[in-house]
Amino acid sequence: MVFGKIEYLNLLPFHVFMKRFVRSSQASMSMNYHKDVPAKTNKKFLSRSVDAAFISSIRAKGRKHVNLGIIAKKEVLSVLITPNESYLADKESETSNLLAKLLHISGEVLIGDKALRYSLQNKPHIDLAKRWNEIYHLPFVFALLCYHKDKNLYKKIEKNFLKKKIKIPRYIINEAASRTQIPARDILHYLTYISYNLDEKAKRGVQKFYKEAQRWSQTR
């Protein structure tokens, strides 16, 4: 199985879980990871170069998925609009770029670890998930865990991942801090803003996003 791995910090708990899950699985899973940024991972999934991945919400519509996602209940700290005279998209993103347009916010879109580094410097910015929540009072779902086949396997992953809190070993946190140049304490704080459970309220959030995206596309 080829899994599209996005190495942003927001998926660190899931990657720790998957390493343990694969090691203990009776399915003798042959797990290969294809590492890339979200926009490129979307393309790899749609072309079936990867079997499963967290796919940007705008590309996940109509795809098979389990009840796992990358979800911000309110603010997210790592999806921002920064001051700029004109709109500038982030080439690593699709959903976040569209979200900025739906919210009618102009500036430069920043996502991922570079956005988190920016927000930690207290520079001027707008947190897109926070703005979404202020308007619609719903979580924002940035991505869904999609798959092409083996539904039972991914339902098992969903069940096991959600049933207990994932403890991230200190050495992994320290490696992530070194790689991203973000202090370990800030990584742990950031992860408290991320939810993975696609519950009923999150489902309403993603459906609202699809509705607003369709309305926006019809007015172009």
In the chain, the domains with their CATH numbers are 2-218 (3.40.190.10)
Distance of CA 171 to the CA centre of its chain: 23
The predicted pLDDT at position 197 comes to 98
Q: Which residues of the chain have pLDDT under 50?
A: 27-28
The predicted pLDDT at position 19 comes to 86
Whole-angstrom distance, CA of residue 23 vs CA of residue 42:
26
The predicted pLDDT at position 220 comes to 76
The predicted pLDDT at position 131 comes to 98
Answer whether 125's CB lies under 8 Å from 119's CB. Answer: yes
The predicted pLDDT at position 157 comes to 94
- Cβ count within 10 A of residue 67: 18
The predicted pLDDT at position 134 comes to 98
pLDDT, averaged across the chain: 92
Strands 2-5 vs 52-56: parallel, antiparallel or unpaired: parallel
The predicted pLDDT at position 32 comes to 67
**Burial letters 111-129, b for 16+ CB under 10 A, else e:** bbbbbbbbbeeeeebebbb
- pTM for the full predicted model: 0.93
How far is residue 36 from each of residues 31, 56, 67, 86, 130, measured CA to CA in Å?
Answer: 16, 13, 22, 27, 26
3-class state of residue 212 by DSSP: helix
Q: Report DSSP state, residue 78.
A: S
The predicted pLDDT at position 86 comes to 85
